[in-house]
Structure 1
Amino acid sequence: MTTLVSHHEIRDRFSKAMSAMYQAEVPQYETLLDLVAEVNRETLERDPELAARLKAHDELNRLGVERHGAIRVGTPAELTMLRRLFAVMGMYPVGYYDLSEAGVPVHSTAFRPIDDAALARNPFRVFTSLLRLELIESAEMRERATDILAERDIFTPGARELIELSECQGGLTDEQADRFVAESLETFRWHQDATVDLETYEALHAEHRLIADVVCFHGPHINHLTPRTLDIDEAQRRMPAAGMNPKEVIEGPPRRDCPILLRQTSFKALEEPTRFAGERQGTHTARFGEIEQRGVALTAKGRALYDRLLAESRQRTAGLTNEEHQRVLAEAFDDFPDTETELRRQGLAFFEYRPTEAGCEAGPATETEVEQLIEQGLITARPITYEDFLPVSAAGIFQSNLGGNGSEAYTGHANREAFEAALGAPVTDELTLYAERERSSLDAALASLGIPPVR
């Protein structure tokens, strides 16, 4: 009988191999990992309550391995095959992100594990963007880009073979899994040689730097990996002393007592020597090092409030230093409740419910109101970590590392249907996943107290 390795084990092997490869390719990334580890260690020492909470909910173990990557592909065929590749690792498309709204000619999804056990084992994610060739203004450049992309294959024959084998037999053996990781890494590896001449590169670059990055190389080199920090403000402050040039401002919500959603920063993209067709030398700027700090996932009501406050603050924060940006942003978010109790009571965030030891020993409960049960110490509610991304923040990271602002010609062209057609599958709605997790945990907690589910 053939013994197959779990999808989660393959994902764990792949993410560690990806990290080792990226550290070898971008030495500053290793420095970034060391900085984040130092900040996390000091934060936990300074805040024993946070450390105890993370330990109680098995969050400490995943903190060290939690990172996401980002890639950009050029064709529907490439996106479809990536979906199949990530499925081998138990990663599925979650969320649709329209970055054209921020002037970037791509739309995206995040491949990630979706159930609690898989996230606890290794929550590795890859934010994956598809170039929108139809948004390229120049018909000549659009046709040229299409022809260039048609000539490449970003997957090795071995990777294709093992993907098909995994689909046929429901997984891979230990030896096959190791080969799969090695073959798949080649898709994400940096290639110093471009596939086009310098003139073509410069013409596509003039259209948009991201277009040149996607079209002109052998594959979708991983453009960043992102460790998770517990204090992104401190990490940002320390980056220059560690030899890194941080982007101007931290993306996302302001610093809060109860963190929400996702905050991101990065060191700026490196200028790397590149050899173009015809043996001409030049440079390309694409790869950088990102840091993220994750908070609680917000409900649709919470997201609407977040989006409104962020939009209202954008004009006031434009052009400010990070310190001033964060101060003004914090003022704009005064109307966003900053305690777990209020976030829960106002239905702004998702929580996971568990019975306490006292609740399990108390016998059938007479009270059925959730807030009363929490106050009586019979059940607990803890924030559900946001596992996904924010389109405005992603675009901000892209623009700061690609240089310049987005083009207004790309805005207002969301097309989820076209993206899902290219993907070959629907994307899962992230809010639905959080709602299902909250509901199932509450039902289980109430059942343990002898209370029927709330409907």
Structure 2
Amino acid sequence: MDITSWNADELRTSFCLAMSNMYRKEVPLYGDLLRIVQEVDASVSNRNGQSPDDLPPRYHLERHGAIRLGSDHELRVIRRLFSILGMRPVGYYDLRIVNFPLHATAFRPTAAESLDKNPFRVFVSVLRKDLVSPRLRGIVEDALCKRELFTPRLLELLDRAEDGEIMTSQDGKELITESLKIFRWHSESVVHIEDYLHLKKEHMMIADIVCFPSAHINHLTPRTLDIDLVQSEMVKQGLPAKERIEGPPSRQCPILLRQTSFKALEEQVNFHGGVAGTHTARFGEVEQRGAAVTAKGRALYDACLHSALADTSRDPDDALKVAFSKYPDTWPELHDLGLVYYRYSATELGLKSARPNGRTGRPKKTLKDLLREELVKYEPITYEDFLPLSAAGIFKSNLGDGNVQAVNEEDVGGLGQLEEGLGCKVADHYELYDALQKESIQNCERDLNVEIVIGW
């Protein structure tokens, strides 16, 4: 691997596998969760007349992790690391809407080819110190000053890679080894237990971020084909599953993201001064990903979700089903109403009837006509991002912090603050999905040697 910038896709996959192995050793129940997901996916595949080997390669690698950081310095270095792994910050999540003193972005690949190889994502939230009580800010600053997440060797490797030096496969292995130290769990706290309890009383998230020497990964999430079946299997096999699945209800045409988890572990911790105690942070999450929705589709989703949250006369799951009955649930409807992003491709019939490339001039064809004539087909683009209310529902059920209540509060400079910490702009996920859709249409134009008119 003697190339100037490494192969980001290969390096990301190696990093993801190494992190999964580390987390499995730290949290044995994670291994049980992976086994359940594999069994469920095999069962679903067999039911559909397929085998798990028929699934796209990304299914067997796909994970997302989550970490929490305490400073702009930590955020900036994490951005540098993930950039080398081919991951960009996508989307801004103002977690004040669920009363968390944090905001976040998700690092992930953005190109279609990289997503197909391994769409590894890390949801990175950062403490907003301006939302911490003034009486506790001194404790926060002192504790964060006592830790350094990044080893000198890691920083040296990042510098060399960014300077365009020739990097070897051994350098890549070292980068992964040094990077894992950022995410490893430590049972030692950098604060006295009294300070920990003060910070925990303010907010559990503040204590989790501030009181430990690493940005320990708090979950590593596999993707499944049937999250309802995984949920029932977790209960059946004795895993401490949370009570309900977060996100939209089960549908014929899955959209966005559904998540569930087993509940957080109570970790033994040695606090500063030799006092023993416990901390609750890490849990096992699983997700089922559906189609990426357009801005119009998301507005309808949000309206349905808020209708369900406001319906206190029904069980929450029943309220969701009633509210989402207004959301179309066939792929043609979702397509024709412009609610979902799609990837278009030429059919075998289309390729057989394509005009020879040597001929000058390309006829204009509407996308509608190409679909009607079965020269082009479509499939939904996978949603690669996150839902703050669903994530908060997972966090709060694990941390024992009550019910999620959405707070409609205007953002005041949060995105600019996060981007300043990152040292770069945050990508807009709608623009990314739109670009993937347009790229697929351009591929159809090339393959069929026509000019495609989008209008209906």
Segments of 5+ residues of structure 2 without an aligned counterpart are 356-361
* Structure 2 equivalent of residue 116 of structure 1: 112
The letter of the residue matching 2:330 is T
The letter of the residue matching 1:292 is E
* Partner Cα distance (1:41, 1:371) in 2: 36
| SS state at 1:191 partner | coil
2:68 is equivalent to residue 72 of structure 1:
yes
2:129 is equivalent to residue 133 of structure 1:
yes
* Partner Cα distance (1:199, 1:432) in 2: 47
The letter of the residue matching 1:30 is G
- Rate the CA distance shift 1:154–1:314 in 2: closer, same or farther, 3 A: same
CA contact (8 A) 1:6 1:171 kept: no
1:375 Cα offset (Å) = 2.5
Segments of 5+ residues of structure 1 without an aligned counterpart are none
| SS state at 1:331 partner | helix
* Structure 1 equivalent of residue 444 of structure 2: 445
The letter of the residue matching 1:333 is F
Identify the range of structure 1 (374-383 vs 176-185) with the bigger mean alpha-carbon deviation. Answer: 374-383
* Structure 2 equivalent of residue 85 of structure 1: 81
CA contact (8 A) 1:443 1:454 kept: no
* Partner Cα distance (1:361, 1:411) in 2: 54
* Structure 2 equivalent of residue 225 of structure 1: 220
Identify the range of structure 1 (31-40 vs 238-247) with the bigger mean alpha-carbon deviation. Answer: 238-247
CA contact (8 A) 1:7 1:171 kept: no
CA contact (8 A) 2:393 2:404 kept: no
- Rate the CA distance shift 1:20–1:171 in 2: closer, same or farther, 3 A: farther
- Rate the CA distance shift 1:95–1:170 in 2: closer, same or farther, 3 A: farther
CA contact (8 A) 1:447 1:453 kept: no
1:151 Cα offset (Å) = 2.5
1:31 Cα offset (Å) = 0.2
1:238 Cα offset (Å) = 1.2
Identify the range of structure 1 (59-68 vs 270-279) with the bigger mean alpha-carbon deviation. Answer: 59-68
* Partner Cα distance (1:133, 1:242) in 2: 41
| SS state at 1:169 partner | coil
- Rate the CA distance shift 1:437–1:296 in 2: closer, same or farther, 3 A: same
- Rate the CA distance shift 1:330–1:406 in 2: closer, same or farther, 3 A: closer
* Partner Cα distance (1:116, 1:171) in 2: 27
1:406 Cα offset (Å) = 7.5
Q: Give me the TM-score of the superposition, normalised by structure 1.
A: 0.93
- Rate the CA distance shift 1:157–1:409 in 2: closer, same or farther, 3 A: farther
* Structure 2 equivalent of residue 401 of structure 1: 398
The letter of the residue matching 2:218 is N
1:198-347 paired onto structure 2 within 5 Å? 198-316=193-311, 324-347=315-338
| SS state at 2:61 partner | coil
1:240 Cα offset (Å) = 2.1
Cα deviations by residue, 1:353-376 (Å, 9 ceiling, x for unpaired): 101111122145978232332122
Give me the CA root mean square deviation.
2.1
1:168 Cα offset (Å) = 1.0
Cα deviations by residue, 1:149-195 (Å, 9 ceiling, x for unpaired): 12221111111111111111267321100000000000000000000
Cα deviations by residue, 1:100-154 (Å, 9 ceiling, x for unpaired): 1011111101111110111111111100000111111x21112221221122211
CA contact (8 A) 1:249 1:325 kept: no
- Rate the CA distance shift 1:3–1:346 in 2: closer, same or farther, 3 A: same
1:453 Cα offset (Å) = 3.9
- Rate the CA distance shift 1:438–1:191 in 2: closer, same or farther, 3 A: same
CA contact (8 A) 1:100 1:411 kept: no
- Rate the CA distance shift 1:283–1:289 in 2: closer, same or farther, 3 A: same
Q: Percent identity?
A: 46
The letter of the residue matching 2:30 is Y
CA contact (8 A) 2:3 2:166 kept: no
* Structure 1 equivalent of residue 368 of structure 2: 371
The letter of the residue matching 1:338 is D
1:400 Cα offset (Å) = 1.4
* Structure 2 equivalent of residue 380 of structure 1: 377
The letter of the residue matching 1:6 is N
- Rate the CA distance shift 1:407–1:120 in 2: closer, same or farther, 3 A: closer
* Partner Cα distance (1:340, 1:96) in 2: 28
1:413 Cα offset (Å) = 5.9
Aligned length: 445
1:66 Cα offset (Å) = 0.5
The letter of the residue matching 1:233 is D
CA contact (8 A) 1:260 1:298 kept: yes
CA contact (8 A) 1:93 1:112 kept: yes
* Structure 2 equivalent of residue 350 of structure 1: 341
CA contact (8 A) 1:103 1:406 kept: no
The letter of the residue matching 2:63 is R
* Partner Cα distance (1:270, 1:342) in 2: 43
Cα deviations by residue, 1:249-300 (Å, 9 ceiling, x for unpaired): 2111110000000000111100010000111000000000000000000000
* Partner Cα distance (1:257, 1:409) in 2: 27
CA contact (8 A) 2:90 2:107 kept: yes
- Rate the CA distance shift 1:408–1:354 in 2: closer, same or farther, 3 A: closer
CA contact (8 A) 2:291 2:381 kept: yes
CA contact (8 A) 1:210 1:402 kept: no
* Partner Cα distance (1:375, 1:327) in 2: 38
* Structure 1 equivalent of residue 433 of structure 2: 434
1:242 Cα offset (Å) = 2.3
* Structure 2 equivalent of residue 416 of structure 1: 415
* Structure 1 equivalent of residue 359 of structure 2: none
